[in-house]
């Protein structure tokens, strides 16, 4: 069963929509800049209700955020909220918490990093780029493929780990690749801010080895072309 209707929920819908033994919880606050306490409280209520209703499932899958490892983001209301939700999910013994980075895919959500960059460049709107910041990008279809393998692995019950690209990209590199896709130069100023942090994906590597996913030097450009060339 699927809880949610957004980018992740859609990606998981085909293999898991009609499975009663797996609950994919892909709902909740989607804007990492959100500070509205009522929205956080609403998600907590929905999540608690979903956990109560699915006590007998083989595995309850929840998506956290890799930003818990980002020194500049880990104290934000959004990240603190996600950690509290993880604690709630962890009370269900047969859970699987997958922390995700920036997920690329077809979504009307204007708050995603990639949608924001695309819109600014396409409209010739000015924005700021943090020179020292990096972001991790992964295709939503690759998330679904890797998660599917982890869900099928009974040894993964009760685990929490990162499901991400082994390589993060400097923000200036991401902007540069988006410029190529849009076919227009970005208008931005550079700020000497940001932080590069490593995302530990060691626990994901055995599953990755069973797929044809290739996080090579062309991965970023391929993903951006896939979702934004005809956006």
Burial 144-158 (b: 16+ CB within 10 A, else e): bbbbbbbbeeeebee
Which of the pair, 63 or 196, is modelled with greater confidence?
A: 63
CA 223 to CA 118: how far, in whole Å?
13
By three-state DSSP, how is residue 99 classified? strand
- Convert the pLDDT of each residue in 164-174 to its tens digit: 999 999 999 99
- Convert the pLDDT of each residue in 36-64 to its tens digit: 788 889 989 999 999 999 999 999 999 99
Share of the chain above pLDDT 70, in %: 98
Model pLDDT, residue 204: 95
Domain tally, the chain: 1
Model pLDDT, residue 162: 97
Half-sphere exposure of 56 (CA within 13 A, CB side): 3
Question: Containing domain of residue 56, as a range?
Answer: 2-228
Output the average pLDDT for the chain. 93
231 pLDDT exceeds 90? no
CA distances (Å), 103 to each of 25, 181, 188, 207, 212, in order?
Answer: 16, 17, 23, 18, 18
Model pLDDT, residue 38: 84
Which CATH number does the domain housing residue 177 bear?
3.40.50.720
Tell me the whole-structure pTM to 2 decimals: 0.94
Terminal Cα distance for the chain, rounded = 30
């Amino acid at each position: 069963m699927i809880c949610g209707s957004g980018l992740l929920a859609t990606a998981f819908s085909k293999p898991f929509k009609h499975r009663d033994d797996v609950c994919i919880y892909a709902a909740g606050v989607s804007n990492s800049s959100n500070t509205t306490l009522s929205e956080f409280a609403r998600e907590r209520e929905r999540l608690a209700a979903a956990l109560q209703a699915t006590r007998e499932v083989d595995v309850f899958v929840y998506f956290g955020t890799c930003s818990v490892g980002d020194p500049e983001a880990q104290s934000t209301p959004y990240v603190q909220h996600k950690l509290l939700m993880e604690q709630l999910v962890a009370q269900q013994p047969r859970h699987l918490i997958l922390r995700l980075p920036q997920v690329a895919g077809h979504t009307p959500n204007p708050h995603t990093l990639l949608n924001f960059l695309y819109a600014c460049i396409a409209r010739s709107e000015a924005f700021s780029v943090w020179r020292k910041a990096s972001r991790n990008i992964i295709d939503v279809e690759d998330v679904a493929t890797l998660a599917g393998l982890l869900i099928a692995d009974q040894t993964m019950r009760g685990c929490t780990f990162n499901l991400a690209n082994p390589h993060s990209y400097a923000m200036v590199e991401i902007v540069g690749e988006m410029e190529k896709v849009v076919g227009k130069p970005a208008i931005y100023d550079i700020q000497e801010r940001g932080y590069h942090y490593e995302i530990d994906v060691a626990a994901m590597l055995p599953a990755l080895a069973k797929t044809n996913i290739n996080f090579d030097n062309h991965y970023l450009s391929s993903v951006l072309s896939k979702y934004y060339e005809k956006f």
